[in-house]
Amino acid sequence: MDGALIPTARPVIGQAEIDAAVRVLRSGLVVQGPEVAAFEDEFSALVDGRHCVAVNSGTSALHLAVLALGVGPGDEVIVPSFSFAATANAVRLAGAEPVFADIERGSFCLDPAAVAAAITPRTAAIMPVHLYGHPAPMADLVPLAARHGLAVIEDAAQAHGAALGDRPVGTFGAAACFSFYPTKNMHSLEGGMITTADAGLARTLRLLRNQGMEQRYANELVGFNLRLTDVAAAIGRVQLRQLPGWNAQRQDNAKYLDARITAAVVPPVADAARHVYHQYTVRILGDRDAAQAALARRGVGAAVYYPTPIHRLRPYLVGGEPGWALPETDRAAAQVLSLPVHPSLTADELERVADAVNSLAGAP
């Protein structure tokens, strides 16, 4: 196959984003100014009016959420191993220890029974990840956390606009964290947002992101510099306005692929879940890596998120070995393949994706 592959992501930096960036640069107010405040206000509508605190990445958002909730040395936080490393890194960076729990076969998100089994007297929090844009089973995880007095921190880095019933992700936990990395459903080049219903926690987060200061040079605690630029926030505001349409297009694209694909296991959606398809991830029951190579030969890009579960990555080994037995996590890591689903796919490209998948040998 000659030419470029149909990519798994096509980040939008259009004229509106460029105009917004230029407008801010000309204004001279470029760091944590009016654009950041407006971005926080506007993002709040996505999370039922919760307080929003913008920072410079999704990783910073998770790190600050863990710190602001007072989770640190001696504490354990239950996380999925089937996620991007930032989920566990945020826990470690705060001085606490991630404890890995297995996932559900259907949603690829934390399995509440596995979480319950992982709770110890040191557990301080649970960090569910709404992986691929599918909401984690919050109807079980939130009451479980409440029964044990644990904080819930949502990793919503991949799930802007996802919901369970009428309730959007970002409204279930004591805090929730979004990423605006370019490949996400919306971006701000780099950026992150923490959402919370707790005004006191929001204030602590604002202090932590800016050297512990609310008033300049009146430092109240030891903080970081994790501020977002106004250029990033202005781009984020442009993208936020597009998000509903883009998510609807992702859902339409997923519906098409669901109906057409016969040679792989299409992604299940839990009852009441509004999946926003950050990724459209199938399971290949044969040789996944050979399938990925065969798709590439037919001009279809596909990606594996994530080939190595976090508990198998070097920083998280225990005595040089994986410290947890997570069979569903390992199964997913061996089988998953994410196909192009982004909103700028043409009808022709979508058809080519489905045809290429259906040409794979060894289909289920």
Ligand X SMILES: Cc1ncc(COP(=O)(O)O)c(C=O)c1O
Part in contact with ligand X (CB under 6 A); list of ranges 10-18, 83-91, 310-318, 325-333: 83-91
Identified binder of ligand X from the candidate list 58, 168, 170, 309, rule CB under 6 A = 58
Angstrom distance (rounded) from CA 177 to CA 227:
15
Closer to ligand X by CB, 83 or 338: give it: 83
Part in contact with ligand X (CB under 6 A); list of ranges 78-86, 205-213, 248-256, 308-316: 78-86
Residue nearest to ligand X (CB): 58
User: In the complex, what is the shortest distance from the CB of residue 89 to ligand X, in angstroms, rounded to a whole number?
Assistant: 9
64 binds ligand X (CB under 6 A): no
Size of the site for ligand X (CB under 6 A): 14
CB-CB contact of 168 with 148 (8 Å): no
CB-CB contact of 104 with 138 (8 Å): no
328 binds ligand X (CB under 6 A): no
Sorted by sequence, the CB contacts under 8 Å of residue 357 that are 6+ apart come out as: 261, 263, 264, 282, 295, 300, 339
86 binds ligand X (CB under 6 A): yes
Identified binder of ligand X from the candidate list 32, 59, 81, 123, rule CB under 6 A = 59
Closer to ligand X by CB, 151 or 354: give it: 151
82 binds ligand X (CB under 6 A): no
Closer to ligand X by CB, 160 or 352: give it: 160
Angstrom distance (rounded) from CA 232 to CA 92:
27
319 class by beta-carbon count within 10 Å (0-12 exposed, 13-18 middle, 19+ buried): exposed
Identified binder of ligand X from the candidate list 32, 87, 171, 210, rule CB under 6 A = 87
Site string for ligand X, 93-132 (x = CB under 6 A): ------------------------------------x---
Part in contact with ligand X (CB under 6 A); list of ranges 57-65, 68-76, 250-258, 350-358: 57-65
Site string for ligand X, 161-200 (x = CB under 6 A): ------------------x-x----------x--------
Gap between the terminal Cα atoms of the chain: 26
User: In the complex, what is the shortest distance from the CB of residue 79 to ligand X, in angstroms, rounded to a whole number?
Assistant: 10
User: In the complex, what is the shortest distance from the CB of residue 179 to ligand X, in angstroms, rounded to a whole number?
Assistant: 3
Closer to ligand X by CB, 87 or 171: give it: 87
Angstrom distance (rounded) from CA 155 to CA 259:
30
Dihedrals φ, ψ of 274, to 5°?
Answer: -100, 105
Angstrom distance (rounded) from CA 165 to CA 11:
28
Closer to ligand X by CB, 188 or 210: give it: 188
> What's the length of the chain?
364
Strand, helix or coil at 56?
Answer: coil
Sorted by sequence, the CB contacts under 8 Å of residue 304 that are 6+ apart come out as: 288, 292, 336, 337, 338
User: In the complex, what is the shortest distance from the CB of residue 61 to ligand X, in angstroms, rounded to a whole number?
Assistant: 7
User: In the complex, what is the shortest distance from the CB of residue 246 to ligand X, in angstroms, rounded to a whole number?
Assistant: 17
247 binds ligand X (CB under 6 A): no
CB-CB contact of 233 with 54 (8 Å): yes
- What is 163-210 written as a DSSP string? EETTEETTSSSSEEEEE--TTSSS--SS-EEEEES-HHHHHHHHHHHB
By CB under 6 A, name the binding residues for ligand X. 57-59, 83-84, 86-87, 129, 155, 157-158, 179, 181, 192
